[in-house]
Structure 1
Amino acid sequence: MTIPALSAADLPLLPDPDQAREWAEQELSDPVYQAAEPTVVDRIAQAVARFVRDLFTVPDTGGWGPWAFVVLGVIVVAVVVVALLIWGRPRLTPRAAPAVHALFDDDDVRSADELRADAAAAAARGDWDEAIVLRFRAFARGLAERGIVDPPPGATVRAFARAASAALPPLADALDTAAETFDDVRYLRRPGTAESYRVVADLDDAAVRARPAVPA
């Protein structure tokens, strides 16, 4: 820096504020000082380094500082993982329960298992008519509960038998015989027998084990 030459008499002991600022500006304008200043890249690197250092350093004051966000994030992730392990992935659309329709002109809303139990009780006391009707209803209700065949209200036994035969081809012959037995007992008032009940019960048992045909 070049300071104007002053005589000893002209040189003040303390410069006034304006003169001090002028001298400082002249001094800092020297290229040596400008070259020593950090560049934009240097400032960014220093800021990143400070952030990383603060992130992994717990202050002596006992406060958590940036660690609070790290711990909070770990807790949230752990809660989500535990929830998935316990309850599984959430379903986008809940599966609706199948509607319970009347079966063959009868507003019977019992489940397939309940109908089977009542049919077995009727068979045990020798009431074959009741046992046959209830067991065939159990067969139909079981297919409806599994979504294989869902008979609409007012569907006839024969219409149901055709739909069930298409879904379970290996049982078509037995199903036709059981449907005829149901019609004989329920509508034609023909007496049921133990053998007729066994035909219907065997069909129901086979249907429980069967898997529906896959459409081509």
Structure 2
Amino acid sequence: MATWGEIVVLAGGAPVTTPRDAARDAARDELVKADYHRHDPSIQERVVNWVLDRIDDALGALAGGGTTGTTGLVLFLVVALVIGAALWWRLGAPKRAARTDLGVFAGAGPRSAAEHRAEAERHAAAGRWAEAVREQMRALVRGLEERTLLDPRPGRTADEAAAEAGRALPEHAAALVAAARVFDDIAYGERTADQAAHQLLRDLDRTLERARPVLAPAAGGAA
């Protein structure tokens, strides 16, 4: 006698016996269709729900629900660390995100490239590498402005200066981007400054002083 799931009834009412495996495969294929899952929670919603469940478990443990207070506290701290790591990964380092709002010359008075270079050397001689890197980057950008390779613009970030100068000095575009990255990492607290970082910016500044810009082709020139 055929079991339930092995019999398919035709439109006319006549039963047809179907092998068990074929019936199971047909049911599985039907259930995986998108129409049955349009309202399923997204991956992000599942992660949030999982985190909330862990918080609920930790709070229950703190209340003495089956575990000691110490165990509950450990669970709560673990969950808090997981949430903090997730937010850090999702939002990025706060100081790195803030770099787009701060220019190279933020907090600095009007100075020439030579003045910034001299200040960088004084900081370097005293072993204040973070200040030396900051002043050296300012000297580099101010030097490009004084040569009219960059238009003077308050609030310009190191990344923007590198991108704009790289178009006029394509041979040094990669070095400019690397210098801007070093400046950002140090200026916004994610990397410890050292002599090598200052030397990298100092050498690039000297190289750019001798670099010749690539002139853009005149509009409407001969084909």
Instruction: With the length of structure 2 as denominator, give the TM-score of the two structures.
Output: 0.49
User: What CA RMSD, in Å, does the superposition of the two structures yield over aligned residues?
Assistant: 1.5
2:118 maps to what in 1? 117
1:17 maps to what in 2? none
Tell me whether 1:105 sits opposite 2:106 in the alignment. yes
Q: CA deviation at 1:147?
A: 0.7
How far apart are the structure 2 equivalents of 1:175 and 1:186?
16
How far apart are the structure 1 equivalents of 2:208 and 2:188?
24
Q: Which residues of 2 match residues 138-153 of structure 1 at below 5 A?
A: 138-153=139-154
How far apart are the structure 1 equivalents of 2:113 and 2:153?
17
> How high is the sequence identity, in percent, across the aligned residues?
42
Q: How many positions carry a matched residue from both structures?
A: 115
Quickly say closer, same or farther: Cα 1:107–1:128, change in 2 above 3 A.
closer
Contact 2:104-2:137 within 8 A present in 1 as well: no
Q: CA deviation at 1:155?
A: 1.9
Q: CA deviation at 1:103?
A: 4.0
Q: CA deviation at 1:190?
A: 2.1
Contact 1:174-1:199 within 8 A present in 2 as well: no
Q: CA deviation at 1:189?
A: 4.4
Spell out, residue by residue over 1:120-169, the C-alpha distance to the aligned partner (whole angstroms, 9 max, x if none).
11111111101111001000000111111124222222111100111111
2:216 maps to what in 1? 215
Q: What runs of 5+ residues in structure 2 fail to find an aligned partner?
A: 1-102, 218-223
Q: CA deviation at 1:107?
A: 3.8
How far apart are the structure 2 equivalents of 1:200 and 1:152?
21
1:198 maps to what in 2? 199
Q: Which residues of 2 match residues 148-159 of structure 1 at below 5 A?
A: 148-159=149-160
Q: Which residues of 2 match residues 41-56 of structure 1 at below 5 A?
A: none
Q: Which residues of 2 match residues 38-187 of structure 1 at below 5 A?
A: 103-187=104-188
Q: Secondary structure at the match of 1:208?
A: helix
Q: CA deviation at 1:176?
A: 1.0
Specify the code of the residue in structure 2 equivalent to 1:213: V
Spell out, residue by residue over 1:57-86, the C-alpha distance to the aligned partner (whole angstroms, 9 max, x if none).
xxxxxxxxxxxxxxxxxxxxxxxxxxxxxx
Contact 1:178-1:200 within 8 A present in 2 as well: yes
Larger radius of gyration: 1
